[in-house]
Amino acid sequence: MARHTTLRIGGPADAWFEPATVRALQAGVRLAAERGLPVSAVGGGSNLLVLDGGVRGLVVSTRALRGLEREGEQTLRVEAGVSTGKLLLVATQWELGGVEFLGGVPGSVGGGLIMNAGTTLGEFKDTTTEVASVRLADGELVRRTAKECDFGYRCSALPANEIVVWGRLTLRPRPRVEIEADVRALRDRRREREPKGLPNAGSIFKNPPGLFAGRLIEEAGLKGRRIGGAEVSEKHANWIVNAGGATAADLLALVDLVRTAVRERHALELELEVKLLGES
């Protein structure tokens, strides 16, 4: 799984399934259910720490679900495997605004919906009107309104026993030059503060209400702290990078160390933003 995560960490999956259609995904999920195999989903692997023992059962990659249709003037139906970069590119070409916030956010639309990914410019919640997912128990398609998805800060109520297969987004007409100016400014701001060059998963912890996890970690004096191959980035303390040969155990040990230091100093419990998958 190290090949399928931006952290480049993770043991093997028992089985890897890359369906090209929603129907094929449903069939695979039903087969797994009949055989009692556990099923998990992976999108771009950009918010994922796969543990060193790997993942039992079937890992479904959404990467081949790449449909992107325009419905009427302003609505897009986007399959889960479409990359956030592709969505932003197409919306820009069609002069539709609303996903500028994706500038520099990696991953897939499915992962973005589950996480309600976002930046200072917005989040998936702002444009999503409907989400469809496949239920792992029986392969049935379930459709939910945005309200039912109950999007929050880097989370949603989309259940863990379903795989998101598409989302419907309603955008608004906006001149291409304006979209590009916003995206460029966002990317420039990000470039200044984000580490480049070493495998990572973006922010490791969620920001506590009204605070920045990065600042709390920096104040605890942990920039540059290293365990094995895992290192608290010198550039942005809420990023833990794989500085070379890191294992999931290294990264989790560093997460523990950071949490303990922040708890002792600020009496605050940092919550992981990155999702864990598999067994140690």
Ligand X SMILES: Cc1cc2nc3c(=O)[nH]c(=O)nc-3n(C[C@H](O)[C@H](O)[C@H](O)COP(=O)(O)OP(=O)(O)OC[C@H]3O[C@@H](n4cnc5c(N)ncnc54)[C@H](O)[C@@H]3O)c2cc1C
Q: Tell me which residues touch ligand X (CB under 6 A).
A: 6, 40-48, 62, 80, 105-108, 110-112, 114-115, 117-119, 154, 163-164, 200-202, 275, 277
Active site residue 174: no
Please, what is the minimum distance in Å from the beta carbon of residue 252 to ligand X?
16
Q: Which residue has the tokens 């997460």?
A: 255
Active site residue 280: no
Nearer to ligand X, 62 or 261 (CB): 62
Instruction: Point out the catalytic residue in the list 70, 154, 176, 190.
Output: 154
CB neighbour class for 37 (10 Å; exposed up to 12, middle 13-18, buried from 19): middle
Active site residue 133: no
Please, what is the minimum distance in Å from the beta carbon of residue 161 to ligand X?
10
**In the numeric block, which tokens belong to residue 100?**
């500028």
Instruction: Point out the catalytic residue in the list 79, 162, 231, 273.
Output: 273
Q: Which of 266, 278, 241, 217 is nearest to 12 (CA)?
A: 278
**Count H helices, E strands: the chain?**
7, 17
Nearer to ligand X, 36 or 197 (CB): 197
* Local structure of 156: helix, strand or coil: coil
Instruction: Point out the catalytic residue in the list 46, 203, 225, 233.
Output: 203
Q: Which of 63, 80, 48 is nearest to 18 (CA)?
A: 63
The contacts found for 260-263 with CB under 8 angstroms, 24 or more apart, are: 261/217, 261/220, 261/221, 261/222, 262/213, 262/216, 262/217, 262/220
Please, what is the minimum distance in Å from the beta carbon of residue 175 to ligand X?
24
**In the numeric block, which tokens belong to residue 2?**
């190290």
Nearer to ligand X, 109 or 216 (CB): 109
Nearer to ligand X, 160 or 181 (CB): 160
Cα angle value 202/43/124 (rounded, 5°): 70
Nearer to ligand X, 95 or 141 (CB): 141
238/259 Cα distance (integer angstroms): 11
Please, what is the minimum distance in Å from the beta carbon of residue 141 to ligand X?
13
DSSP-derived secondary structure letter, 46: T
Please, what is the minimum distance in Å from the beta carbon of residue 97 to ligand X?
18
Residues with a catalytic annotation lie at: 154, 203, 273
